Amino acid sequence: MKLEQNDKTLLFSETTIPDIFFSEYLSELPSDYLKIYLYILFLSKYKKDIKLNDLSRKLNIPLKSINDGFKFLEEHKLITKKTNGYIVTDLQELTLHKLYSPNLTLTKDKLEQNSKNKSRVKAIEHINNMYFQGIMGPSWYNDIDLWFTKFEFDEQVMIALFDYCYKRSALHKNYVQTVAEAWSSNKVKTWNDLDKYSEKQQNLSKFKKTIAKKLGKYNGLTQYEEAYIENWVLNFGYDMNIIEIALKRTTFKQNPTFEYINNIITDWHERNLKTPDEINAFIEQRKKQEKNTKNLKQQVSKANYDQRNYDNLDFLYANSDKKEE
């Protein structure tokens, strides 16, 4: 991309970054992408051709990461692609347009004008002071109000949402919204709903750790293995007493997989087996059927063997009769 030469020498020139960058964008930028952004912001003062290979060598970042970084910065509107390169976005102007776009504007001042939102204003101010040190970016006000409407959270749940993300060092909009969507899909709206959901998640976490330990997976479970367990517990309604029965059955199989265990538990669910007693009775019944089937096969095999011996004797007698003739 083309960059324009500044009249000042490099020694006396400076690169400015608007405060809105720190409050709105910094937390969402991976470290390599942050390096790329800061460097192209610096280079945007100089008019010359910039090649991706040169950036890769200069910043000591793999070329693939450079390409991915430019895509990321473009998706987050930090840069804009043009025919012959990129333009670094004016973040102050961009934020101003966001705040004053029709039907999307909700600043702190506008909230306070509406008496119906007084409790919501208090919640948002608590979030601002508690998790943003009183300098929350302007667009957060709008996003939080949209989440109040979309997910129908009460004020306590909204505060708990930010507390949850803050404690996990993931206080950026994409993560906050992902957690909010997860809570909403589990019908969380009030503090009581959240309390029940949290208890369910804690129990689920204990199940995962117990199962991983019993299967000798000391490095933890994969995302797909955890999904299996969540299905057993949340959708099938099975507790550890039932899952334990399935885990014990892996002792009959060499190198059992999670898919093997899942097939066993899914079969029980499809047969509408809901208690350990029902499952144990079903297993005993299957054992009895397998034993009867095995005995029947042995009887049939013995009968076929006896019949073959009888036929062979008849054959010998038949050959003997021919010789005598």
Give tens-digit pLDDT for 14-64.
788 887 788 778 878 889 999 998 888 888 877 666 788 888 888 999 999
> Do residues 74 and 33 touch, judged by C-beta distance below 8 A?
no
User: What would the mean pLDDT of 113-135 be, rounded to a whole number?
Assistant: 81
Within this chain, do residues 131 and 175 fall inside the same structural domain, yes or no? yes
- Expressed in angstroms, the distance from the first to the final Cα of the chain is 108
pLDDT-based confidence at residue 291 (cuts at 50, 70, 90): confident
Which of the listed residues 169, 189, 209 is the one where a domain comes to its end?
189
Residue that terminates a domain, selected from 162, 189, 216: 189
Residue with tokens 């007693």: 277
- Tell me if 78 is assigned to some domain: yes
Examine residue 42 and state whether it is found in any structural domain, yes or no.
yes
Ranking 51-55, 144-148, 156-160, 225-229 by mean pLDDT, the lowest is: 51-55
Quote the radius of gyration of the chain (alpha carbons, Å). 34
Q: Report the C-alpha gap between 56 and 63 in whole angstroms.
A: 5
For the residues 294-322, what does the mean pLDDT come to?
59
- Is 175 found in the same domain as 156? yes
Q: Which of 95, 118, 147 is the last residue of a domain?
A: 95
Per residue in 206-229, pLDDT tens?
A: 989 999 988 888 888 888 899 999
Q: Does residue 6 sit within a domain?
A: no
Per-residue pLDDT at 103 exceeds 50: no
The verdict on 65 and 31 lying in the same domain is yes
pLDDT over threshold 90, residue 11: no
The answer to whether residue 60 sits within a structural domain is: yes
Query: How confident is the model over 277-306, as a mean pLDDT?
Result: 79
What pLDDT is recorded for position 245? 92
User: What band does 188 get if pLDDT is binned at 50, 70 and 90?
Assistant: very high
Quick one: how far is CA 321 from the chain centroid? 83
User: Do residue 121 and residue 78 come from a single domain?
Assistant: no
Asked whether residue 1 is domain-assigned, the answer is no
Q: Are residues 262 and 298 in the same domain?
A: no
Residue 218 belongs to what domain range?
A: 195-270
Q: Check whether residue 89 and residue 109 sit in a common domain.
A: no
CA pair distance 225, 212, nearest whole angstrom: 10
The DSSP bridge partners found for residue 80 are 87
Q: Using a CB cutoff of 8 Å and minimum separation of 24, what contacts does 308-315 make?
A: none
Return the exposure string of 210-238: e unless at least 16 CB atoms fall within 10 Å of the residue's CB, then b.
ebbeeeeeeeebeeebbebbeebbeebeb
Prediction pTM value: 0.52
Residue type (1 letter), 158: M
Does 161 reside within a domain? Answer: yes
Number of folded domains in the chain?
4
